[in-house]
Structure formats: C-alpha cells, structure tokens
Chains A and B, each alone.
Chain A
Amino acid sequence: MLLHIDKVSKTYRRKSGDVCALQDVSLDLDAGEFVAVRGPSGCGKSTLLMTTGGLLGPDSGQILFNGKNPYELSPHARAEFRGRSIGFVFQQFHLVPYLDVLDNVLAPSLAVASTSNGVRDRAHDLVKHFGLMKRSHHVPAELSSGERQRTALARALLNEPQLLLADEPTGNLDGKSADTVLSHLQEFAENGGAVLLVTHDERAVPFADRVIHLCEGRIESNGS
C-alpha cells in the first residue's frame, strides 16, 4: 500500500467560526492506481489533497506513505519528502512567471540534489513528451492554458514522484486540453505511479480507476 489515509479529520478554526473541512476520511491508494475524488465546491477536496501531500497536518487520524507518517518528520525532512516523493498539479498552475517552460520544469531540482546534466536531460525529455518543445523558451504569460497545465504536469514529474496530487487540473481547460492532461495522468498511473485527482469535473471519470465522492468533508461512496 503506497498511501493509507485513516480517519483523517481537519477543521479550520477561525474567529468567524470553525469550518469542518474533512471528517473521518479514509482512503487507500496503491502504486499504479488513478483515483478521482469528486464533490461539490467547498466539500474539502483541496484540503484532502494538501493533507495528503504533507502540506497541512490533520487534526486527527493519520496518513501513512509507504507506512510512514510524514507529519512525524521534522518540517525539514517533510519538505525533502515532498520534493522526492510527491508531485503537485494545481488548477491555477502556479508556474514561476519569470522562468521559461524548461526552467519551470527544472524548478524542483532546486529542492532535490541531482546531477545537473541528468536532470536537464530529463526536463528536456518531459518538455518533448508533453509537446512543449516549441514553447520551451517561452514564459508562462506567453502560453495557452493547456500549455501551462502541461508545463505544470511536467514540473510535477521531474523528480519522478511516487504520488501525483492533482487539484482541478482541468478546471481552466477546454475539452481537448483537459483530455490531454487527463490522459497524461492516466499514463503516469499506467507506468506505476499513483494519482490522486480531486475535481468536480465529470470528464475525469472515464480516466480514473476509481471515483470517490466527497460531500461536506465525508466520503459518500468508495465506488469503482
């Protein structure tokens, strides 16, 4: 079992009131699996993803990644764990605006020590694989949404993570671009990676091995 999420709860405590974003959420994910979590806006999808990715500690329950709880690591070690094992893709891309496509893809090499030649070759391969060769020296502002999302995806894959966490990666994309991105995620899973996709987008359903419904922070169905 690559990822074991066990009765995780998360409540945002604010002056204006507490918001219970996740409640006893349990979920297992194996390597090579593509799971889509669907649910309406505000149901806690992004919260689940951050918690899973080691960016947001749960209030209760635990997350085990390869049997280890990342929140038991020091912040420093947890950052390194993220750099090595997890790739993130977001709806807003979060590309570095002043770096061109190739440099954006290379950004994760800032975190993980690797031979510069090896990582450059890999970045090059990824750019080529995602059909961004002609755009490799363009900055994000000069790219289409689909190209930006593919750049973000390539960046997430640079350090060869075991788990890819995608938050609404198709939210801003038209049908064709969304399909391209989803098929790349599928491809990653087929090659042995695990994908946890959170979305309200129905287009994701055919690509996923499993679809889970989340509603008001609770898992409604753990279907296939």
Chain B
Amino acid sequence: MSVWRLVVREINHRRLNFLLSLLSVTVGVACLIGAQTLLKADRVTTGQLLNDRQAEIEIAVAEKQKAVEKAGKELQDAIRKQMLGLGFNVLILPEDQELSELHLNGTMSATMPEQYVDKLAASKIVTVNHLLPSVTKRIHWDERDREIILVGTRGEVPILHRGMKKPLLAEVAPGKIVLGHEIHKQLELKVNDSVTLNGSDFTVSAVHSERGSVDDVTVWINLAAAQELLGMQNLINAILALECECSGDRISQIRAEIVSILPGTQVVEKYSQALTRAEAREKTKQSAEAALAAEEKAGQKLLTQERSARRQLEDRHAGFAAVLTPLVIFASLLMIGLLTFANTRQRTSEIGILCAIGLTTPKIMFVFLSKAAVTGLIGGLCGVGLGLTTGVLLGGLPSNGITLPDLFATGGLLTTVASAPLLALAMTGIASWVPALYAARRDPAAILQGD
C-alpha cells in the first residue's frame, strides 16, 4: 500500500473538502494567471494598435510626401522649362526712355533704329542667346472702341556667330494677331476669327490665358505691320534679350557688353512671367511641405495621445491586479489552510491509528502534504485554464485580432504559466504545512483512548 493510494481514496471519500480546496487553489492561480494574461494582452494590444496607427500615419505622410515630391517636380520642371529655358531676360531700351512710362502704362515712346538688333546679332555677344526687337504702344482700337497695348514683334533675330538656335518664341506671322486674355474674353473672339485693327485686317492666331499682367490687355502683331500702323518704319522701342547666361553680378556684365556694342541704350532686367509662375509653384511646394509637416505633427500627436490612453488603461489594470492578486492569493492560502485543518480534525482517528501502527511524524505529514500536492497540482492546472480564459475574455481577445499564441510569443507569460502549477504546489504546501504538523504532532494515546 502506498501513500498515494491512501490519498486518492481519501480524496474520493471526502470530495467536498477536496473540491473546496481545489476551488481555492484554482481561484488563487486563476487570479494570478488571469491578471498576467490581461496585462500581457494589454501590452500586445497596445503594441499592435500603435503599430497600426503608425502605419496609418506613415501612409498619410507618404501621400503628403508624394504631393510634395510632385509639387517639387512640377516646380523643377517649370524652372527647367521656363526659367532655364529663358534664362533671365533683359530689355534693351533707348537711353532716353522713361522707365516710369514703361512701368505705369506698359508702353514706350522713345525709339531706336531697328538695325540695332542686327548690329547686336552680328556682334560677338556671348551673354545673350535670343534677340527680339519690338514696338510697344498704347493705342485706341477704333473699331472696338477700347484702349489696348499694341506690340509688334518680328520673332527672333538669329545671333550670327552661333547659327540659328531653336526659336524660343515664334514670331507673329504677317496678317495674324494674338490677343491677351481680357481682350479676347470681353470681345468674345476666338482663334480664326477675323478682326480689323484700325483699318488693317487680321486673323486671330492665338489667344492667351490670363496672366494677371499687362499682357492681358495686349495684342501682338507682326513687327512690320505694327511699324506701319504706328508710323514707326524702321524704328523699334525695345529689344528683348532672352536667356541671358551669366553668373554672379549678371546684369552689370550684360549691361557692359551690350552698351559697348550699342551705345545710347540702357539695359533693364525684365521680371519674367516664368518667374512668377515658378514662384507660384514654389508656394504650392511650400504649402505641400507645410501640409506634410502638419500631417507628421498631427500623426505624432495622435500617436502620443493613443499611447498615453493605452498607458492609462494598462496602469489601471496593473494597479487593480497588484491589489487583487495578492489579496485573492492570501484568501486562497487561508482557505486551503482552514480546509486542511478541518480535514485533520475529520481524520483524528485515522491519525491515531497511523501513529499506533508505526508511521513516523514525517510520514504522517507526508500523507497530508501529498494530498496538498495533488490539490495544488490539479488546482494549479485548472487555475491556469481558468486564468487564461478569463484574461483572454477581459483582454478582448480574439476579436481585436490578437490570438493566444501572440501572448506567448514573447516571454514572461509563458514562464508565469509554466511555473503556476509549481506555485500552486508551493501555495498548498505552505498553507497545509501547519495543519499537517499539528496533525502529526497529536498525541495518539489521547486519540485512541478517546471517542
């Protein structure tokens, strides 16, 4: 006969005592495991939530980034196509031209010979790539009864020593007219319409979209036609020099070179329309960058808020567990102790006879502690099951996408769960020790004479 047989028979005989002890252990261990599972579930959920949020933010930021890149590319493109294409531009004017007239009215009254442009083109000028002679005058369009700026241009004059470059601006062909935005809009003119300008007939070859400058009230025709219309044969008001290639103090270099070829002229830097557009694009790019920064900042703020909310939840759970777990374990220990004590009282006669038949004190203790071990082991396993279930349910698993294996993926919980039965064993052992010692130390003579 082994002690285990005795223990099993006794458990089977006094089931209530055993079940209550088992319940005590189970509840104690379940509380510990449940709390640990919940805390772990909290941590894993937090990790996942923050990861998800981070991913969302990253996607949003990436979108904004793309917008910034696109804006940047557009800007670069614009600069390349228009700024770089045009270089920067200067206006060559007769020395006596009042700049205030040009700036206030968009027109010029001083003139210079048209051959100046040919002279410049024939020179060895290096700082200028394209030359456009023009006349510009504010006139009254009699047929339409309105004020306009008339520009006559003859297209590009090739710079001889370089050969003809790809023309940057097409000339306005004879008999054609190009209209600024305000004009074609108000006069309801479109491409191929015929118009008469102060007695001369033209066909509309192009209409410009809005530029927000004097261009909007300007019409362009061929230089010769304009000279004739204005009675300015062989005279021009200005030469537009485009794509000036200079670095450093460019304007003074260009000015020096031009004036040396064409004395009696002045050189004015012309603020390019392309620059305005580039600036607008720069603004777009800047606002896209600002949006990106704002998105990043908002994302970080959201993340911080989420993190602190989760931390609060975790702290609350941890605080609760820190109080509840020791309390429940203490109550379990007390309960196990009391139940073991009650068990020793029930087994008084048995203790007496075990003593009489020669069981030593440690062996009698062993009988009680073996039962405690069985209780602890089974209760520990039940407690692990119950605790995991409770923790999983309280932790909101698996609806939040986290599974039980996720909780075990990183250490901690696995160790706790694995050591729980041992802990339960220790719990029942400690709680049963005193009653078992009390039982083993009882006076068998008194017991056996009693009843």
Contact = CB atoms under 8 A, between A and B. Distances in A.
Interface in B1-42: 1-3, 5-6, 9-10, 12-14
Task: Please tell me the size bucket of the interface on B.
Answer: 20 to 34
B449 A46 contact: yes
A103 B1 contact: yes
B361 A75 contact: yes
Interface stretch (B217-225, B273-281, B346-354): B346-354
Contacts of B361: 75-76, 79
Contact of B354 (A53, A76, A110): A110
B359 A110 contact: yes
Nearest to A77: B360
A49 to B, nearest CB: 9
B449 A107 contact: no
B1 A111 contact: no
A221 B66 CA distance: 120
Contacts of A50: 445, 448-449
Given A94-B352, A94-B448, A110-B1, A99 B358 contact: no
Given A92-B451, A106-B1, A107-B1, A98 B357 contact: no
A75 B360 contact: yes
- Most chain B CB inside 10 Å of its own CB: which residue of A80, A90, A106: A90
A55 B354 contact: no
B353 A53 contact: no
Given A92-B451, A103-B5, A82 B14 contact: no
A177 B16 CA distance: 36
Contacts, number: 92
B355 interface: yes
A76 B359 CA distance: 9
A53 B352 CA distance: 13
Interface in A42-79: 46-47, 50, 53, 55-56, 75-76, 79
A55 B1 contact: no
Given A55-B448, A90-B448, A112-B358, A96 B5 contact: no
Nearest to A53: B356
A218 interface: no
Nearest to A45: B449
Given A50-B449, A103-B5, A110-B363, A55 B358 contact: no
A80 B349 contact: no
B357 A83 contact: yes
B395 interface: no
Interface string A93-108: 0111111000100111
Given A99-B9, A159-B357, 15 more contacts: A46-B448, A50-B448, A55-B356, A56-B445, A76-B360, A76-B362, A83-B357, A92-B349, A94-B349, A94-B356, A96-B6, A98-B14, A107-B6, A107-B354, A107-B357
Interface of A: 46-47, 50, 53, 55-56, 75-76, 79-84, 88, 90, 92, 94-99, 103, 106-112, 116, 119, 155, 159, 167
